[in-house]
Structure 1
Amino acid sequence: MKKFFQQYYTNLFLTDRLFAALGFCILLFLLKFFFSWLGEIPEIALGVVLMLWFIDLFILYRNVQGIEAKRLTSKRLSNGDENPIEIEVKSKYGFTVNVRVIDEIPFQFQLRDKDFRLNLPPGAIKSIHYNLRPTKRGEYDFGFIRVFIASPIGLVTRRYNFDGAKVLPVYPSFINLGKYELMAVSRYLTEFGIKKIRKIGQSTEFDQIKNYVGGDDIRTINWKATARKSALMVNTYTDERSQNIYCIIDKSRVMRMPFEGLSLLDYAINASVALAKVAMLKEDKAGLITISETIGAIVPADRKAGQLGTIMNVLYKEKTRYLESNLELLYSSIRSVIKQRGLLVFFTNFESLSALQRQLPYLKRISKYHLLLVVFFENTELKALSTEPAKDIEGIYHKTIAEKFIYEKKLMVKELNKHGILSVLTPPQKLTVNVINQYLALKAQQRI
């Protein structure tokens, strides 16, 4: 018995039902002082409670391992997305047990309500499903799975501890990549506001052989195919499709601003991963540059099989810095690294027109050699404030200032367009879709 308690006492818990039964027995003993006719009823009641307690102990601890539980997750979590988590519980008891499952999830979520209750018939297997939405990249430590078992008697509870401890990395958003892949391969781009412009290329990349129609260049007639088909056939060619697409991510302090739990840097990282995937599906080469006061990571543009994984591994550890980005250094790095003209998508943020004007000379120099697309963010809090009716003089002041900053954002777009620099001003939650739409529009217009 001593060995039994030494082995199991730490996992043995008394229930409210037992305390209620003992309280009832105590009440009977107290009443016995005033009502002698109770006789031996209090002793009998206490004996019954103790007997049931021992029976409960026996049936719960008769099986060395009466319950099995395991946590089923993917090898990594997707930042900013709902990630499914499953806990599978199997009963080996010969009777129905009441089960309480507590999953020790990573401290980053600051959740204490992952507490599940269920009934398990003999030999049954049940699954518990819930979702976790991480808002920071990095490593997340899962702890034990605590399973508490009670028999139908319910006087004691036995705890099982399953070592579900594991460390899962949280990578840039990858769960919704399939949705953006459909945008890349869909032929019905007009639903995204994109009109594809057909342009007959004259490069050496062969496309197909088709029937001759009026207006086709007679120099492209394929005489062998004509002889076989007894009709004029011509070769068609397409423009070179493999272009360099670089995502340039600003890691300076302007990207620390939070929105719905994610920083602007995280939104830019998620959009970069999605754009890289779509670009490679469109047969372009995807690359990456990160910049703050110094040059961060540089991933040369490529479309090999592991390129997307390389980009995600680089972005996995990127963090914002506290100084302003050095765009002069960015310009010199672009000139030395990127030898061919391509599309550069620069994710940054400007909160004032003067901030843009400080960086504008370097942006103009970059746009001379590449097609530059500057992506920056709307301040959604200011936009919401500007639409609210003012209730007093202070409210009028706040609303006026908010409208001033919103108007400055529109001036930034005009200023960039004036110098031939493309721009996208977008709310954070629509960043990925808007950037991919802009890329597809440029692709359809044969600008890249």
Structure 2
Amino acid sequence: MQNSLFSLFYRNLFLTGRLFGALACSALLFMTSFFLPWLNIVPYLIFFVTMALLLLDLALLYSGRNRLFAKRHMPERLSNGDENEISIYLESRYGLWLNLEIIDEIPQQFQKRDLVFRTKLKARGDTLINYTLRPTRRGEYTFNLLRVFVSSPLGLIQRRYSFGEPVSVAVYPSFLMMRKYELMAISNRLSEVGIKKIRRLGTSMEFEQLKNYTPGDDYRSINWKATARQGNLMVNTYSDEKAQNVYCIIDKSRNMKSAFEGLSLLDYAINTSLILSSVALLKEDKAGLITVSDTAGACIAADRRSGQLNRIMEALYKEKSRYLETNFELLYNITRKTLKQRSLVVFFGNFESMHSLERQLPFLKKIAKFHLLVVVFFENTELKKLSGEKAANVEEIYIKTIAEKLVYEKKLIAKELARHGIQTILTAPQNVTVNTINRYLQIKSSQKL
């Protein structure tokens, strides 16, 4: 709000500068006329013409009320980490062309202090201004007033309009990306966003339908009779096993507070958990959620009931990272109490060193004994980039060596987990969704669960 008021004062000062300049010029000519008497009439002419134009501009802009209408249109809730479209509708009831400056007082979380739109609006015309906002934190965001500054073609003064009331909007986990993956999953087009086509192993699955052959399909499933009838290659498709439990477990400890491209690791995990739950439900599996840190968090039993995805989304919306380490013994006890049958457990966490893994490995091995455990943890993309750069001096060699050591230790963690029969996904934060869904589809296809 303070930034908007400052901008308001600054713009008023700038636009009245034309009027001030005309008056200053008149005063200068008036003083000059003491030495050049024939200039006496010029400052008076400039002054009276300026005053006449000023009164005309006042009459044009301030005659009548509610001569301009503006309204902000936005979704009922915003999607975290995505570009959300906002629009401003403007309608003029003036009988002349207008120059407009629009200041939208967006939430302070965006830290945008220069969101100003300039446009022209014809007589009794309307227009629509579209822009996008990308939130990087869940929670309540407050949009304040919409300020519109109107000036006539004369441009001597401005009239200020204020529209709307402060309104709060909730920023939820990435439901826009979730819908995108839902559509891809329904139409079997997940490969378009990087999801691999997994070759099916074995033939124990039930026949589902015939479809046209697409690259990547197993040629052994070609139905030659249907191919002869249709005149193009047709393949048999089989339905996966259904009603399997898929749990997303999210570590909320301080290890998940690191931020990449504006989003914390916790938010990457939350967005991926929501999308994976959505895809699992579309595949007719049961989706569940557990969050944990030093204390127990949300716990939603796996189910396929109507509204299950909304329950998961509401739980994820409220989650916040904590400053203490995760209690893995508590996590193991929760899984033993909650997970009554063998399930796919996708654990989102972050291990920075072998020492941190060794302290928690006994509990991960116990969970993997009863369930199919997939551990998802994150590459440090900044360190990886630094380790690939050339060093020019001794200091840079030292920094590069440390970065390479830390990057290599992440790979050792993945190998150590795999050695104990625990599946791992070591991924860059921006690729976590695609890599996790790939692994889920691979597990479904290979019938490991």
Change (3 A) 1:78 1:44: same
Q: Give the Cα–Cα distance (whole angstroms) in 2 for the partners of residues 446 and 370 of structure 1.
A: 14
Residue 345 of structure 1 is matched in structure 2 by 346
Displacement, 1:425? Answer: 0.3
Contact 1:150 1:156 in 2 (8 A): yes
Pairwise mapping of residues 256-295 of structure 1 onto structure 2 (< 5 A)?
256-295=257-296
The equivalent of 1:425 in structure 2 is 426
Determine the structure 1 residue equivalent to 2:96: 95
TM-score (norm 2): 0.87
Alignment match, 2:8: none
User: Could you tell me which residue of structure 1 aligns to residue 226 of structure 2?
Assistant: none
Say what the alpha-carbon RMSD is for the aligned residues: 2.2
Relative distance call for 1:373 and 1:328 in structure 2 (3 A) is same
Q: Distance in 2 between matches of 1:264 and 1:404?
A: 22
Question: Which secondary structure does the structure 1 equivalent of 2:175 belong to?
Answer: coil
SS at match of 1:361: helix
Q: How far apart, CA to CA, are the structure 2 residues paired with 1:35 and 1:237?
A: 100
SS at match of 1:368: helix
Q: How far, CA to CA, are the matches of 1:146 and 1:115 in structure 2?
A: 10
- Aligned residue number for residue 170 of structure 2: 169
Residue 29 of structure 1 is matched in structure 2 by 30
User: Quick one: structure 1 residues 186 and 438, their matched pair in 2 at CA, closer, same or farther if it must change by over 3 Å?
Assistant: farther
Pairs within 5 Å for 1:248-263: 248-263=249-264
The CA distance in 2 between the partners of 1:398 and 1:350, in whole Å, is: 21
Residues 296-315 of structure 1: per-residue CA shift (max 9 Å, x gap) = 01111122232222111111
What residue is the counterpart of 1:195 in the other structure?
198
Task: Tell me, in whole angstroms, the C-alpha distance in 2 between the residues paired with 1:104 and 1:54.
Answer: 31
In 2, the alpha carbon distance for the partners of 1:291 and 1:446 equals: 29
* Aligned 8 A contact 2:70 2:88 in 1: yes
Q: What SS is found at the alignment partner of 1:176?
A: helix
Letter in 2 for 1:195: I
What corresponds to 1:229 in structure 2?
A: none
Distance apart, 1:113 and its partner CA: 1.2
- Paired residues for 1:291-302 under 5 Å: 291-302=292-303
Instruction: Check conservation: 1:189, 1:195, Cα contact below 8 A.
Output: no
Once the 2 structures are TM-superposed, how far is the Cα of residue 192 of structure 1 from its aligned partner?
4.0
Deviation at 1:96, TM superposition (A): 0.4
Q: Could you tell which deviates more after superposition, 261-270 or 47-56?
A: 47-56
Render the CA deviation track for 1:197-253: whole Å, top value 9, x for unaligned.
Answer: 254548xx99689xxxxxxxxxxxxxxxxxxxxxxxxxx996641111110000001
Structure 1 residue 180 displacement after superposition: 2.0
Conserved in 2, the CA contact under 8 Å of 1:98 and 1:117? yes
Corresponding letter in the other structure for 2:370: Y
Q: How many residues align?
A: 410
Percent of aligned pairs with the same residue?
55
Equivalent position amino acid for 2:23 in 1: L
Structure 1: segments with no counterpart, 5+ residues = 1-10, 210-235
TM-aligned CA distance change 1:352 to 1:385, over 3 Å: same
- C-alpha deviation, 1:179, in angstroms: 3.3
| Residue number in structure 2 paired with 1:85 | 86
**Which position in structure 2 is the counterpart of 1:331?**
332
1:404-436 CA-to-partner distances (Å, cap 9, x unmatched) read: 122211111111111111110001010111001
SS in 2 for 1:279: helix
Equivalent position of 2:114 in the other structure = 113
Partner of 1:212: none
In 2, distance between residues paired with 1:438 and 1:406?
23
Which range is displaced more, 357-366 or 20-29? 20-29
> Are residues 1:135 and 2:132 paired?
no
Distance in structure 2 (CA, Å) of the matches to 1:237 and 1:28: 92
TM-score for the superposition, normalised by structure 1: 0.87
In the other structure, the counterpart of 1:226 is none
Question: Structure 2 counterpart of 1:196, which letter?
Answer: R
Shift of 1:56: 1.2
1:15-414 mapped onto 2 (5 Å cutoff): 15-185=16-186, 187=188, 192-197=195-200, 199-201=202-204, 240-414=241-415
Q: 1:188 to 1:150 in 2, by over 3 A?
A: closer
1:183 to partner: Cα distance: 4.7
